[in-house]
Amino acid sequence: MNFSEQLKSYQDLINQRMVTDLPESGLRPSQLHSAMNYSLQAGGKRLRPVLTLAAHDLFPGELNPVPAALAVEIIHTYSLIHDDLPAMDDSDLRRGRPACHKAYDEATAILAGDALIPLAFEILAREYRPHPQLGLDLVHMLARTAGGEKLVGGQMEDLLAEGTEPNEQTLSFVHANKTAAMIETSLLLGFRLGRMGGDEKLTQLLTEAGHALGLAFQAVDDLLDVTSTTEALGKDACHDEDRNKMTWVALAGIDRARELASQHTECALAAFRKMGGENEFLLRLAEHMLVREK
């Protein structure tokens, strides 16, 4: 199977399970569950769950990585719903269609995001119950990443930085925690479920790869905001500039942002190569992410 086919296979699996494994839209209260599924089933790159599946397949084991991949995407989707709210980034579009608070209303979007958070941990606890220590490890990894020191903390610093003079220290904190931490953990969850999940040296290499990949991803995102279109991105172009966001483009310009994206990608590639295993897909994915158009 070539890279494009493998990527589509992973994405199709996640999209299918987002329909079959989660509460139906008609479940009471239907407005809440409809809003949750509206955002969960909107498609998108499915990058984080793809990373979870691919990291498991580096050294495949008998444990099923799909529930962990679903949990990652659920947390990511909640963060997008709340990210788009008027009190946050105030975005009208997400994944090519109206953001959740525009398709429904602001209160429903807030509650939909709220409901997704415990759903992710419910899935982890339920599906890995036969392996209690493993289940606890997965819950701890995802909870810490989604909390105040990582994902939510990065969002807070991002909001506080709006309209201020760009500086590298703040920007690095935001990118490392709002973006890179979830990409890193997506890989680590999948790897933990594989047959080499307890190997400390490999875990450290994967941590380095995930961190670098996340920083590269954000640098490319910063670039696309000013070089692409709303139609291509599926979300508002030039939104960062309009909101006076602190980005690599604002701080150092387009050329420097491109250099950083390439440098971080090379770091991720080097770590993936050192890991060995079935790493071809992850190597190709890292290269693909550098030249993505949305």
The per-residue pLDDT for range 183-218, each reduced to its tens digit, is 999 999 999 999 999 999 999 999 999 999 999 999
Nearest to 82 by CA among 211, 178, 177: 178
Full domain range(s) for residue 269: 3-290
Q: Which pLDDT does position 235 carry in this prediction?
A: 81
Show the low-confidence residues of the chain (pLDDT under 50). Answer: none
The secondary structure of residue 29, as a DSSP letter, is S
- List CB contacts of 156: < 8 A, sequence separation 6 or more: 148
Within the chain, what is the greatest distance between any pair of CA atoms? 51
Q: How many domains does the chain have?
A: 1
- C-alpha 40/C-alpha 52 separation (Å) is 17
Looking up residue 215, the CATH number of its domain turns out to be 1.10.600.10
Phi then psi for 128, rounded to 5 degrees? -110, 20
Distance between CA atoms of 74 and 12, rounded to whole angstroms?
16
Cβ contacts of 126 within 8 Å, gap of 6 or more: 67
Q: Cα 103 to chain center, whole Å?
A: 22
Q: Would you state the pLDDT for residue 238?
A: 77
Give CA angle at 148 (142, 149), nearest 5°: 80
**Per-residue pLDDT at 293:** 84
Name the pTM for this structure: 0.97
